[in-house]
A and B are shown apart, each in its own frame.
Chain A
Amino acid sequence: MRVRLLDIAHARSGDKGDTANVGVLALRPEWYQVLDTYVTRDRVADHFSGLISGDVVRFELPNLGALNFLLHGALDGGGTLSLKTDAQGKVVSTALLRMVIDVPDDLANRLKLPPAPGPRAPVAR
């Protein structure tokens, strides 16, 4: 089943220099395992390819049902150097929530995951 992160997680992002951090938090405790298994470092790096110039690093916070991603080179130099509207990475959070992941049907059904909305949903590569 295709599942959109927006429907199973919430998120907040911030900055540290030219690095944006995105904390992704499961909407239900039992959905954390889905984030942990399917929202991998590589998957997130692929999602943001072309939009960031550096590496992606992932940390796990099972105590909060959360993952924390560092997206290096995400902010056009960051801080005052950046010319971007989102120079401080405040809405990189919802950019990550656009991601659509494939979850095996039996797991998705058992966890009652909401399916991604119709064909117009953004499709991850």
Chain B
Amino acid sequence: MSAPRVVRVASGQGFWGDWLEAPRRQVTGGPVDYLMLDYLAEVTMSILQKQKERDPSLGYARDFLGAVESVLPAVTGRGVRVVANAGGVNPQACAAAVRALPGGRDAGAKLRIGVVLGDDLLPRLDALIAAGHPLANMETGAPLSTVRDRVLSANAYLGSGPIVEALAGGANIVITGRSTDTALTMAPLRHEFGWAADDYNRLAAGIVAGHIIECGAQCSGGNCLYDWREIPDLGEVGYPIIEASADGTFVVTKHPGTGGRVSTQSVAEQLVYEMGDPHAYITPDVIADFTTIRLAAEGTDRVRVYGIEGRPATPSLKVSVAYRAGFKAVGTLVYAWPDAFDKAQLADRVLRERLDHLGLRFDRILTEFVGAGATHGALAGPPSEDLPEVQLRVGVRGSNRGDIERFTREIAPLVLNGPPSVTGFAGGRPKVEEVVAYWPALIDKRVVQPSVTFQ
């Protein structure tokens, strides 16, 4: 009797900006079948859209090229398959860039890149609105038409279907645009085990597996509050790996000899991360019930996950729209002992008086005193009278770029014409940033048709 078959999905990136070493360490540290790389946060698509506007060959997560280079020998030599939402708003250009890598050219037919398309609704936006899809904001109920002229990007969150299709078509690298983070893990399991589209419990298990590893090391000891002093060797932290079985149960683990820790506590902390209603974790494929998840320690750095139940998905897909929403800037200065907090407070009053005299108009101005209660507010109680330093941090936001620009020039003068014992201004004037805001909406699934091409 052979042992029940296990499929290993390794997480190599939890967001765009994550550890560049992780993908290579995941494919060289022990056996894995799939490498999942998650690059897209809510606002990432709009950043990529701006890049694509400047250069039509861009608009994808460029870190992905380095990741592919670092794992290519495992892909072409050992059959490890990569699934990534690195395509952003230009998955085909991303695939072309992979193909153009030195290793990509050499790989020739050994490299088959599947590209998932169909999530990009920007070219269809006016037609969709005209056809009666209001794309109303899920939080405010306002129709998208109210900000239509400021929209930068609009993408539907796709589920596992097109990724499964790409894998079935022989792709060893699958590049998507806006797929759900969890689909990147669930799709390989569905492909390997042949789970049907109405096998809700197993699909839900795949989604939970995806949720656990989609933030990289955040389930294997990174950012873990439980017992944090005792978590070993974060310098060599091991990123998580799912060892899944056909019945939908799985083990969360990491490669032997790596740092960090996989425990029921580290996994549970990740399970509640960004959670809404735990009874209804809604995805395009299935609704997972997080109150059915069971965790059991199974030896060192191994947690078994089982019992997961799911039910049919909704008829809608979530759409993420990004739109221009004015400008902002944040200025900081550091005030030192003695009386650091008092000096920082005086500097804030002086600054605000000057902003008033200039007649600048902001939608929002916010002052924080970092080191004296910026993150916990009044819950932290009154700050110590002996603080070694306090950072004054003032942010402004508004629709008039000129007013925000003028604000950035009022910070540095305080160094010579405000309260004493001030430092920490070496970075120069604060930078004015365009605010790109997020507009969550729903759309009828039937009007979004994903497709797969191969390069």
Contacts and interface: CB of A to CB of B under 8 A. Distances in A.
Nearest to B393: A85
A10 interface: yes
A38 interface: no
Q: Which range holds the interface residue count of chain B?
A: 35 or more
B57 to A, nearest CB: 26
B277 interface: yes
Given A25-B265, A80-B43, 8 more contacts: A11-B225, A11-B269, A15-B274, A17-B440, A23-B271, A83-B364, A83-B366, A98-B379
A13 B276 CA distance: 11
Interface stretch (B82-90, B369-377, B443-451): B369-377
Interface in B268-313: 268-279, 290-295, 307
6 contacts: A12-B272, A14-B275, A27-B226, A63-B291, A64-B271, A98-B379
A95 B375 contact: yes
B435 interface: yes
Kindly list the 3 A-B residue pairs having the minimum CB-CB distance in the complex, ordered from nearest. A23-B272, A83-B395, A14-B274
A81 interface: yes
Contact of A66 (B268, B379, B393): B268
A68 B277 CA distance: 8
Interface string A69-81: 0100000110111
Given A66-B268, A94-B225, A83 B330 contact: yes
Contact of A59 (B42, B277, B293, B295): B277
A85 B371 CA distance: 12
A86 interface: yes
B269 A91 contact: no
A114 to B, nearest CB: 15
B438 interface: yes
Contacts of A62: 291
A12 B294 contact: no
Contacts of A79: 42-43, 437-438
Contacts of A25: 226, 265, 268-269, 272
B24 interface: no
A51 interface: yes
A60 B279 CA distance: 9
Contacts of B378: 50-51
A81 B35 CA distance: 34
B230 interface: no
B449 to A, nearest CB: 28
B356 interface: no
B389 to A, nearest CB: 16
Contact of A21 (B274, B295, B436, B440): B274
Contacts of B438: 17, 79-80
A95 B277 contact: no
Contacts of B370: 85
Interface string A47-71: 1101100000001111111101010
A89 to B, nearest CB: 9
Contact of B295 (A16, A60, A64, A98): A64
A112 B43 CA distance: 46
B273 A64 contact: no
Contacts of A13: 273
B139 A17 contact: yes
Given A63-B294, A91-B375, A81 B437 contact: yes
Contacts of B328: 83
A86 B374 CA distance: 8
Contacts of A63: 291-294, 307
B368 interface: yes
A117 to B, nearest CB: 14
B93 interface: no
A68 B12 CA distance: 28
B112 interface: no
